[in-house]
């Protein structure tokens, strides 16, 4: 499936496809840290210092260069940090930073300085980070954080909706950290962010319900938010502290700080925060099912550090929020999936009850539309298009099917809430089909079940103009300077498809494909049996017809001989009996001859050559008129006819039957009219023979081309009822089809088609 179908409502603005400077920035390897802490990079095997931040002299009393190559024990023991050494040696280090210990250092003047130490392991490097606890120390300690967190957890149990959960988290995190503003920011499928909860004083410009474009947080930044759940920027006006040496001396590569708490900040992001009037910020990632769902973002207008223990508590609150979000959304989706499964079961039951399984869908439109909460639907199968509800016109539906078959041929299921921007010419479908969900039910044919949703015009309020200004000359991208509400009208989008709806459609597809395959197997077996039976029947009819010809001729001959033998002795009754015997035998012989011809048509191979139809029709017209009485008034209206590649013997039989029928059944008209036409369109010639004769009731049209099917008595119009059956069989062998229309006592029209280009199958039996 190509288009996103997450539950969050899309704004219609996708992330830009072209990379910007911000998109390419390697923010995980800045080569520096923020100055409110000290960093050491150690070899995992030997615990030797490979790199240190330039401000390490503040703690260790020696320049960072003198720490390189020394073991951690040598570095720490010089500062009475044995407790930390023991902690790091017994810690089970992973990518997530863990608390190690606090280091008390006696500096000049007799003042003690307390450092919190955390560490994590990444790419065979143990990264130790130390932050001075005395700066920004909160009155909140590990001990009194616990009841706050426990109270928050208890309150979460009673919250029913996601906005309420988000608001509670915004209030709680702001209270714990002391930041001036806290907001919860939720991503849509295109990574645009929507503020769904906010906690701040009246002095702040409100951001609640505003949208922020995906370009505000580029892809690599979102990935760092996903893997490193907490990020603090203590002062936007900080001077970055470089690492010494700049590159890892063993790998000669920059140090990867993806999981670092002190990692330096992108200059573009610093400019962004300054434009917002902020000096400090902190973010807590909200993760659901391993994916970034949103952020809890904290803002302050003055510099602010947050103790490690408070950050840990905030991280825990973020995880608790993630868990409850997953539970709430998961429960809602689970209940919705159960409901949709019941709808699917009903549809499958309806299909099982119908001779044509597809009728089980289209004859129950309410269930079909409810399955995906669609306004309209369409089923394309066996060349037919069946529309349900508020669906587009059939030609537009077929255009969508052709586009899907061309651009998404390998997709078993396709979903989009923005078809006008995806499909060329899709703008014409905006009102009825801005959203399309389609399942392919055949790999061989252009067969689909589609659901449609109309356009929903929305006004999206952005937090400032989402288009970033570009600096002339070097094309440097700058974050916008204004965050005043900026409104944009979004068109050509429908409500997005829920994941449960897409899964329900997929489940229906699997069931439909199973039914189609089973039907195909049954039809293949039936076709094989019919072919065998037809061959046996043809052989039988050929044998019987051939063997019966002579006996009927003998009956006619001996009836005439008996009449001659009796001579004058035969009275009028005897002669009448003999003539009846001869006539009946002659009719039976004619019927046998026609049956033999019918069998030969089915058994004979085609030998197509170019045949001028106009010449053939004229020859047959002359033959027929020679057999008619001289006073018979027949008007022939023959239009231009093409040269067609076909079997001349079979095609002569087709024309002879159709034209002779037109002459015969118009016999009672004072002036008969026979009209012959041909229209060529695309790959087909369509021929027609019309007359103003006896006609027939249209409800009997389906019987005309069957063997022995006649709509008029033998006394009224002679015939055996095999001629039109021969026509259908001969035309069918050429790959064409036949049909008829008529009105009783007003005439009839018979059509047949022939391909413009003769298919290879015509040379087979």
- What are the contacts of 585-592 at 24+ separation with CB within 8 A? 585/552, 585/553, 585/555, 585/556, 585/559, 586/552, 586/556, 588/548, 588/552, 589/548, 589/549, 589/552, 589/553, 589/556, 590/720, 591/720, 591/722, 592/545, 592/548, 592/549, 592/552
The CATH number of the domain holding residue 87 is 3.30.450.20
The CATH number of the domain holding residue 685 is 3.30.565.10
Q: Give the burial class of 626: count Cβ atoms within 10 A of its Cβ; 0-12 exposed, 13-18 middle, 19 or more buried.
A: exposed
Give the pLDDT score at 108. 45
Last residue of a domain, one of 104, 132, 160: 132
Is 687 within the bounds of a domain?
yes
Last residue of a domain, one of 101, 132, 163: 132
Is 701 within the bounds of a domain?
yes
Q: Whose CA is closest to 621, among 610, 640, 635, 631?
A: 635
Q: Whose CA is closest to 268, among 467, 88, 21?
A: 21
Same domain (yes/no): 612, 535: no
Q: What are phi and psi of 612, to 5 degrees?
A: -75, 105
Same domain (yes/no): 82, 112: yes
Is 207 within the bounds of a domain?
no
Is 422 within the bounds of a domain?
no
CA–CA dist 649, 628 (Å, integer) = 24
Give the pLDDT score at 754. 92
Same domain (yes/no): 612, 753: yes
- Give pLDDT < 50 ranges for the chain: 1-20, 108-110, 135-139, 470-477, 708-720, 759-765
Same domain (yes/no): 584, 618: no
Written as six digits, the tokens of 263 are 């990692």
Is 627 within the bounds of a domain?
yes
Is 194 within the bounds of a domain?
no
Same domain (yes/no): 569, 678: no
Query: Quick count: other Cβ atoms within 10 Å of Cβ 384?
Result: 11
Per the structure, the count of domains in the chain is 3
pLDDT (tens digit per residue) in 362-394: 888 899 999 999 999 999 887 789 999 999 999
Q: What is the DSSP string of 477-509?
A: E---S--SEEEEEE-S--PPPPHHHHHHHHHHH
Same domain (yes/no): 679, 738: yes
Range of the domain at 84: 37-132
Same domain (yes/no): 584, 610: no
Is 67 within the bounds of a domain?
yes
Give the pLDDT score at 631. 79
Give the pLDDT score at 761. 39
Under DSSP, is residue 379 helix (H, G, I), strand (E, B) or coil?
A: strand
Last residue of a domain, one of 132, 149, 183: 132
Same domain (yes/no): 584, 702: no
Same domain (yes/no): 546, 684: no
Give the pLDDT score at 384. 85
Same domain (yes/no): 618, 739: yes
CA–CA dist 400, 377 (Å, integer) = 13
Residue partners of 365: CB distance under 8 A and separation at least 6: 377, 388, 389
The predicted model scores a pTM of: 0.59
pLDDT (tens digit per residue) in 631-652: 788 899 999 999 999 888 788 8
Give the pLDDT score at 437. 94
Give the pLDDT score at 138. 44
Is 346 within the bounds of a domain?
no
**Cα distances (Å, whole numbers) of residue 652 to 107, 640, 727, 753:** 116, 17, 10, 15
Q: Whose CA is closest to 187, among 283, 284, 295?
A: 295
Same domain (yes/no): 578, 620: no
Same domain (yes/no): 41, 98: yes
């Amino acid at each position: 499936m190509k288009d996103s179908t997450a539950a969050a409502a899309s704004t219609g603005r996708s992330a830009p496809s072209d990379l910007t400077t911000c998109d390419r920035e390697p923010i995980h390897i800045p080569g520096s840290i923020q100055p409110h802490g000290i960093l050491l990079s150690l070899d995992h095997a030997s615990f030797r210092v490979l790199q240190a931040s330039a401000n390490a002299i503040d703690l260790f009393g020696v320049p960072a260069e003198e720490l390189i190559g020394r073991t951690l024990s040598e570095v720490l023991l010089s500062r009475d940090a044995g407790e930390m050494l023991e902690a790091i040696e017994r810690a089970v280090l992973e990518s997530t930073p863990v608390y190690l210990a606090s280091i008390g250092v006696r500096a000049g003047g007799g003042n003690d300085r307390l450092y919190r130490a955390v560490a994590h392991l990444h790419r065979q490097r143990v990264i130790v980070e130390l932050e001075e606890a005395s700066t920004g120390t909160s009155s909140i300690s590990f001990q009194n954080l616990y009841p706050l967190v426990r109270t928050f957890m208890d309150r979460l149990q009673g919250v029913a909706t996601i906005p309420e959960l988000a608001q509670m988290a915004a209030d709680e995190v702001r209270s714990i950290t002391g930041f001036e503003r806290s907001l919860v920011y939720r991503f849509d499928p295109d990574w645009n962010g929507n503020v769904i909860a906010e906690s701040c004083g009246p002095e702040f410009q409100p951001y609640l319900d505003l949208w922020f474009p995906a370009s505000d947080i580029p892809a690599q930044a979102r990935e760092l938010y996903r893997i490193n759940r907490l990020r603090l920027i203590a002062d936007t006006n900080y001077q970055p502290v470089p690492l010494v040496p700049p590159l890892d001396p063993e790998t000669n590569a920059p140090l990867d700080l993806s999981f670092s708490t002190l990692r330096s900040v992108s200059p573009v992001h610093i400019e962004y925060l300054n434009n917002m009037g902020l000096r400090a910020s902190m973010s807590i990632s909200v993760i659901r099912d391993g994916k970034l769902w949103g952020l809890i973002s904290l803002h302050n207008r003055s510099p602010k550090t947050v103790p490690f223990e408070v950050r840990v508590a905030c991280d825990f609150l973020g995880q608790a929020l993630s868990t409850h979000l997953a539970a709430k959304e998961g429960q809602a989706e689970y209940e919705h999936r159960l409901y949709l499964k019941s709808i699917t079961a009903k549809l499958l039951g309806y299909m099982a009850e119908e001779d044509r399984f597809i009728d089980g869908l289209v004859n129950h439109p309410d269930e079909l539309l409810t399955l995906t909460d669609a306004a309209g639907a369409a089923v394309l199968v066996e060349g037919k298009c069946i529309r349900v509800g508020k669906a587009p016109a059939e030609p537009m539906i077929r255009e969508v099917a052709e586009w899907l078959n061309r651009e998404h041929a390998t997709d078993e299921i396709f979903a989009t809430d923005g078809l006008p921007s995806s499909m060329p010419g899709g703008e014409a479908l905006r009102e009825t089909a801005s959203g399309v969900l389609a399942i392919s039910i055949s790999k061989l044919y252009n067969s689909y079940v589609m659901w449609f949703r109309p356009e929903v015009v929305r006004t999206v309020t952005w937090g400032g103009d989402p288009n970033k200004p570009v600096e002339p000359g070097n094309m440097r991208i700058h974050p916008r300077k204004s965050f005043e509400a900026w409104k944009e009208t979004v068109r050509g989008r429908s409500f997005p498809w829920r994941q449960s709806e897409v899964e329900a459609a997929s489940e229906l597809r699997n069931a439909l494909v199973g039914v189609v395959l089973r039907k195909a197997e049954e039809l293949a077996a039936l076709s094989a049996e019919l072919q065998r039976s037809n061959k046996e029947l043809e052989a039988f009819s050929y044998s019987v017809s051939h063997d019966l010809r002579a006996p009927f001729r003998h009956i006619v001959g001996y009836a005439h001989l008996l009449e001659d033998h009796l001579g004058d002795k035969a009275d009028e009754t005897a002669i009448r009996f003999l003539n009846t015997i001869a006539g009946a035998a002659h009719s039976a012989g004619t019927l046998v001859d026609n049956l033999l011809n019918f069998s030969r048509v089915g058994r004979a191979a085609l030998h197509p050559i170019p045949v001028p139809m106009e010449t053939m029709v004229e020859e047959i017209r002359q033959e027929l008129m020679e057999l008619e009485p001289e006073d018979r008034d027949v008007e022939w209206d023959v239009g231009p006819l093409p040269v067609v590649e076909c079997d001349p013997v079979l095609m002569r039989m087709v024309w002879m039957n159709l034209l002779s029928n037109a002459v015969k059944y118009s016999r009672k008209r004072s002036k008969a009219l026979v009209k012959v036409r041909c229209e060529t369109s695309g790959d087909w010639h369509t021929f027609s023979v019309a007359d103003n004769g006896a006609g027939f009731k249209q409800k009997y049209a389906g019987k005309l081309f069957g063997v022995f099917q006649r709509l008029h008595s033998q006394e009224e119009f002679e015939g055996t009822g095999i001629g039109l059956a021969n026509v259908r069989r001969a035309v069918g062998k050429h790959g064409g089809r036949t049909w008829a229309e008529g009105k009783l006592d007003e005439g009839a029209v018979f059509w047949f088609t022939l391909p413009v280009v003769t298919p290879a199958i015509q040379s087979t039996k």
